[in-house]
Chains A and B, each alone.
Chain A
Amino acid sequence: MHADAGISRRWRWPWRPFAALLVLLMLWQAVIILTGVPRYILPAPLAVGHALLDQRELLMHHAWVTAIEILAGFTGGVALGGLTALSLARFRPLRRTLLPLLLVSQAIPLFALAPILMLWLGYGMLPKILMAVLIVYFPVASTGYDGLRQTPQGWLDLADTFGLNRRRRLLKVQLPAALPSFASGVRMAATAAPIGAVIGEWVGSSRGLGFLMLNANARLQVDVMFAALIVLVAFALLLYFGVDALLRRAMPWHRDRIGAAE
């Protein structure tokens, strides 16, 4: 039997979710026709489609700012969170002093920090990136640290009988064992990063999809608001599935096991 059987399964177009989406869009249109909701409350799907096309330059202008904020925040947050998890697992004194602080810091509503970040860092991209970093950081650090801590005892026993020192044990045993749990933190981060960026933009900005949405809302351009929302959702989905594909590539053994269970 070939070892990679199961990986090379043919990729099939996931038509079911798309069919469901189509049905939802039709329902949306039906609601508008049946109830006669005014277009400044709920625009028709087709109107939103028009807005997407007509305003594409405006949308692009704001979208790439948000995209950079999301990506930078995601990358920074994952890197910082991963480093924190490793340091916590490696250094006991750090664990004693930092872990309680880290847990308590989660009681702070991050959204409430946005105005302060704006006050300190101005209206540019930086406070938005920082907001995304903050929102991404904790899930990555906590799932990573949990994974590093919960290495099955049997593997640690083997490492002990092999005579591994603490550093090698962390890198060779605990780290790969923690990858699946770390990966679920990174997936969470991919969904959280856009939230951070948009919150940052809502609080104070002159560019970005969050700004565009507030602006359109004030002018009752609800179709533009929806169009911006759709672009944002597309970004979030793209980031999530991109990250998911990368993680699967990085953990072929894990994918195999999932394949075997199906």
Chain B
Amino acid sequence: MPPPAIDIRSASLHYGERVLFRDLDARFPAGSWSCLLGRSGSGKSSLLRMIAGLSLPDNHRLERITDDGLPLGPRLAWMAQQDLLVPWLRVRDNVMLAARWKRRVTAADRERAQSLLARVGLAQQSHAWPATLSGGQRQRVALARTLFLDASVVLMDEPFSAVDAITRLDLHELASELLAGRTVIMVTHDPQEALRLADHLLILKGEPARLHPLAPPSGVRPRALDCADLHRHQAALVTELTMPESTPIGANATRLAGGAPADEGNRHAR
């Protein structure tokens, strides 16, 4: 079944009296990788949870529509910032967690789990306990568990933020290859990560927040770090993220250039 495009309509989230966002509309195109960026507290993770249909403590509303009109739930996979491996099951059982939790495990499940472990480079660790793996290996197992579902929609909430920078770059390559052809929505606060992986960039900012689309760099995923276009975009993206929506560009520029810190330095010198 081809992956669906997902439309969200009139998404609203209230945190007590505070309105994080109201009446947001967005489209996440079929079979492509959308990155949702924003600073912490912007409500980007909450928005992703809303799309996934997961529980939230706060007052929220969202209409989600797929372009083929079929329900989203059964073909959705979820990947979080923590690897969420369960410590009481061995690595291979963690990969086929959905099967283990929902029904009786079959020989075909075991075979599939094993071949997915091979694809993420952990065939040897199949019988290890998760506690013996490194952070990067654990996140690879989480990726294999996500692939086990063979879902056409994958929602990821900062999936690579808990691992070190080098491991993260490896995981980008792996995820980009293995998740190709699916509708991916990834929340991240790392501009470089977004620029490497995104087909579509959306920035959530302002109060109440709005979604600002931004053109991704040219080239195919995962874009190389030395890609000149990526660096140009990174500067633009960081500016976009740090600049509050309501502040005029001029005022913001002065603040960034920072007359005040220089004065302070002088005072210390004296």
Contact = CB atoms under 8 A, between A and B. Distances in A.
A258 to B, nearest CB: 10
A179 to B, nearest CB: 7
A161 interface: yes
A254 B130 CA distance: 11
A177 B98 contact: no
B265 interface: no
Interface in B66-106: 73-74, 76-78, 80, 82, 84, 86-90, 97-98, 100-102
A159 B78 CA distance: 10
Interface residues of B, number: 31
Nearest to B124: A1
Interface stretch (A51-59, A162-170, A235-243): A162-170
A257 B88 CA distance: 11
A163 B74 contact: yes
B52, B74, B88, B130: residue with the most chain A Cβ atoms closer than 10 Å: B88
Interface string A169-194: 00011001101000000000000000
Interface string B182-196: 000000000000000
A155 interface: yes
A257 B149 CA distance: 28
A165 B204 CA distance: 34
A262 interface: no
A6 B132 CA distance: 10
B131 interface: yes
B77 to A, nearest CB: 7
A256 B132 contact: yes
A3 B128 contact: yes
Nearest to A164: B101
B86 A3 contact: no
Give the contact-size bracket for chain A. Answer: 20 to 34
Given A159-B101, A163-B73, A256 B78 contact: no
A177 to B, nearest CB: 7
A1 B132 CA distance: 10
B80 to A, nearest CB: 5
Given A161-B52, A163-B74, A257 B100 contact: no
A158 interface: yes
A253 B129 contact: yes
Contacts of A256: 129, 131-132
A260 B87 CA distance: 13
A176 B86 contact: yes
Contacts of B266: none
Contacts of A179: 88
B128 A1 contact: yes
Contacts of B87: 253-254, 257
Contacts of A176: 86, 88
A155 B86 contact: yes
A3 B127 CA distance: 6
B54 interface: yes
Contact of B84 (A1, A158, A260): A158
A168 B102 contact: yes
Contacts of A253: 87-89, 129-131
Interface string A1-28: 1010110000000000000000000000
Interface in B103-139: 125, 127-132
Kindly list the 5 A-B residue pairs having the minimum CB-CB distance in the complex, ordered from nearest: A3-B128, A161-B78, A172-B101, A257-B131, A154-B84
24 contacts: A3-B125, A5-B132, A155-B84, A155-B86, A157-B84, A158-B84, A158-B97, A160-B54, A161-B53, A161-B54, A161-B73, A161-B76, A161-B77, A162-B97, A162-B149, A163-B73, A164-B102, A168-B101, A176-B86, A179-B88, A252-B129, A253-B87, A253-B129, A260-B131
Given A162-B102, A173-B101, 19 more contacts: A1-B132, A3-B127, A3-B128, A3-B132, A5-B132, A155-B84, A155-B86, A157-B49, A157-B78, A157-B84, A161-B52, A161-B53, A162-B97, A163-B74, A164-B102, A172-B101, A253-B88, A254-B87, A256-B129
Interface of B: 49, 52-55, 73-74, 76-78, 80, 82, 84, 86-90, 97-98, 100-102, 125, 127-132, 149
